Amino acid sequence: MIVGSNSSSDAARLVTPTMLVLWLVLATVPLWITRIGLYPYLGIEILIWSLYALAFNLVLGRAGLPSFGHGAYFGIGAYSFGLCQLDIVANLWICLAAAAVVAGLAGVLVAMFISHRRGIYYAFMTIAFGQIFWTLAIKSHRITGGEDGLLKIKRLPADFGLVSFDLTDNVAFYYFVLAVFAVGVAALWRLVHSPYGRVVAAIRQSEVRAAHLGYNVWLYKASVFALSAAVSGFAGGLFAMAQLAAFPDVMSLHQSGYVVMMTLVGGGLVSFWGPVIGVFLFLTARDVIGALTNAWMLYFGLLFIAIVLFRPEGIAGALSAAMQRHSLNALRRRGTSAMRLLVGGGR
Amino acid sequence: MFDLLPHLLNGLTLGLLFALIALGFMLIVGLMEQINLAHGSLFALGAYVAMQLTGPRPPLPADLAKAWLALPLGWRYAATLVIAPVIVSLVGMLIELCMRRTYGKDPLYGLLLTFGAAMVIEELIRLVWGTRDYVLQVPSAINGGFLFGDLIWSTYRFYAAGIAAGIIGLLWLLIEKTSFGATVKAGAHDSEIVRALGINLSRLRLLVFVFGTMLAAVAGIIVAPIWGIRPHMGVDAVIPAFLVIVLGGVGSFWGAVVAGLLVGLCVGLAGAYASEWSLLSMYILLVAVVTFRARGLWGKKSVLEA
């Protein structure tokens, strides 16, 4: 069912052929993106949001936990990155680590409250915590800058000891984000296909069954949530660098809803790559349709309704269904010619 | 102690309004086990339609409009209180017809469908009415204020709280004391048997959804003069409605009413002492309750927690 990994051996690999192709294609983006009327910054946004949506899909798609306040951890990561840079130390690696750690800790805190809840109660607890963090971000003027946001965040140079890269240019920053994205995708792929990931998938199918098999369901639910929050926070740190600021609106309920939409439209429930497809479609549509009409959310909303009604498994699901049908047809064709040969030979 | 009384009273009236906002949501969650995230947008739509109908330029042919405007505001307001929900219920009907396809599947799909519908309705509101704020005219009889114990009280708040209490009572009678309520509840409990008894369940569900939509619209009209009419009011309403239902527990009528009152008291009191943080208080209340009680205050088992 997983698009791009039809052979099960892919699950055991660190880097799959699909990933290699994707990275190569993405590496050429700055060469042609301005020619088609778009700009490298869009590429940066798509990569960062893809990482965020992939992390989110650990919770929604893999564990089947309805988390509707995930923007909080993305935002916490952005603020942590900014505050670390402005108040503690202006080192890229330390600030990015701070973004992931602080968001992860917030995730642990929330997970302790919600992991013994299910369904609608779980969903609304995540919303409540999302709203709490969002309100805190807006109202703590002195720390976060309130609704104006935390400004003056710089793109710190990527210092590797021997060489140091300046990331202020959008193309340079794009390649940095791409490298981070590649590592992140490989890590998430390993996580999803590790024994740990299998248990999480089993919990999605049936919490009761997993518990009877002797797994500590609470611990798995809590840890996958915290992990997802940490990676979301890491992406948030990158986003703060991209925007040169951290704003509270990524933490709002609307924005948390968008990441759910992107993940589902892409097909996060059936495919590892679903969230990436969804983010690509959402952000490109925002820029392309948004340039033509102000009411682009109207059209995206209608598309979303249509997908929920007719293709609930999303675009990735539709693609893999089409591919399967195609290979089935090919098989059938081959089958008939083989039959003809047999029948012909018999005569 | 006497200082606290106005805040308590304020909180109680606010609580009745929260309960009123949650009623339509509760009806659909409780009787159909579906989460209607478009509730807030339907609430907003009710307010907008009412504003258009009572305003100086009603969407009617010229002669009719003249006759309509000749009526006193009180009559127009009372008529609007009935007409606007009926108009909004057509939108609700459309949503239910789409939502049918998701019945029997993971309730997540119904939730997402209505989230999409909410987005579309909000965008349409922006397209038709723009982003500016509007005011809903109300008859002078319920407008203004009165003096009581050295304090000025808003008449409209008490009128709104009274209406809310009345609708809560009527809805309780409908659900608990009529055969319609009994059939609908049985349909949620065991749809197969209800169908076998020869009851047209899909029509019944459509009716419930339409009724829930109308309640949302009425709540929108009642709350509009207090909150103001703007595109964002839908989101401002659906979150407290959802919160009240989760706090009270899915499937519990009085749970929702008590939760509404609690939320109102909480927000009212927090608003008196730390107005910056008043909205935060309701989330903290929810977290405090749901951390210890798996199904809110008096929730029943439902498919929504599978």
Angle between helices A274-292 and A40-57 (to 10 degrees): 140
Give pLDDT tens digits for B153-170. Answer: 788 888 999 999 999 999
Nearest residue to A11 (alpha-carbon basis) of A207, A181, A201: A201
Residue B1, pLDDT score: 53
If you average pLDDT over each of A6-20, B20-34, B61-75, which comes out highest? B20-34
Domain encompassing residue A311: 8-346
Mean pLDDT value across chain A: 88
Is B102 in Cβ contact with A308 (below 8 Å)? yes
Give pLDDT tens digits for A104-128. Answer: 999 999 999 999 888 889 999 999 9
Report H helices in A140-169.
141-144
Residue A340, pLDDT score: 61
Dist. CA B46–CA B53, nearest whole Å: 11
Q: Decide if A1 is inside a domain.
A: no
Total of domains in chain A: 1
Q: Which residue has the higher pLDDT, A201 or B69?
A: A201
Report H helices in chain B.
4-32, 39-54, 62-70, 73-99, 107-129, 155-177, 179-189, 191-196, 201-227, 233-248, 253-273, 278-292
Residue A3, pLDDT score: 45
Interface of A with B (CB under 8 A): 66, 113, 116-125, 127-129, 131-132, 135-136, 139, 253-254, 257, 260-261, 264, 295, 297-298, 300-302, 304-305, 308-309, 312
Residue A341, pLDDT score: 57
**Would you say A204 and A58 are in contact if contact means Cβ atoms under 8 Å apart?**
no
Interface of B with A (CB under 8 A): 35, 98, 101-102, 105, 107-109, 111-113, 115-117, 119-120, 122-124, 126-127, 235, 239, 242-243, 246, 250, 276-277, 279-280, 283-284, 286-287, 290-291, 294-296, 299, 302, 304-306
The neighbouring-strand residues paired with A79 are none
Helices and strands per DSSP (H, E), number in chain A: 14, 2
Q: Decide if A114 is inside a domain.
A: yes
**Would you say A66 and B304 are in contact if contact means Cβ atoms under 8 Å apart?**
no
Cα B243 → chain centroid? 12
Give pLDDT tens digits for A40-73. Answer: 899 999 999 999 999 999 999 999 999 999 999 9
Q: What residue ranges define each of the domains in chain B, with the CATH number in brackets?
A: 4-305 (1.10.3470)
Nearest residue to B219 (alpha-carbon basis) of B9, B20, B16: B20
Which two tokens mark B177? Answer: 């004391």
| A166 residue type, one letter | D
Q: Decide if A3 is inside a domain.
A: no
CATH number of the domain where residue A79 is located = 1.10.3470
Residue A14, pLDDT score: 82
Dist. CA A238–CA A97, nearest whole Å: 11
Residue B296, pLDDT score: 84
- A57 contacts in chain B (CB < 8 Å): none
Is A257 in Cβ contact with B279 (below 8 Å)? no
SS3 label, residue A125: helix
**Would you say A77 and A100 are in contact if contact means Cβ atoms under 8 Å apart?**
yes
Angle between helices A274-292 and A296-310 (to 10 degrees): 140
Residue A342, pLDDT score: 56
Q: How many CB atoms lie within 10 A of CB A178?
A: 18
Res. B306 pLDDT band, cuts 50 70 90: low
Dist. CA A218–CA A211, nearest whole Å: 9
Dist. CA A52–CA A180, nearest whole Å: 12
Res. B210 pLDDT band, cuts 50 70 90: very high
- The ipTM value here is 0.88
Dist. CA B38–CA A186, nearest whole Å: 38
Dist. CA B238–CA B244, nearest whole Å: 10
Dist. CA B155–CA B160, nearest whole Å: 9
The answer to whether the predicted template modeling score (pTM) of the entire model surpasses 0.80 is: yes
Q: Decide if A2 is inside a domain.
A: no
Q: Decide if A268 is inside a domain.
A: yes
First to last CA, chain A: 41
For A50, A182, A312, the CA distances from A274, given in Å and listed in that order, are: 10, 16, 12
First to last CA, chain B: 46
Q: How many CB atoms lie within 10 A of CB A36?
A: 7
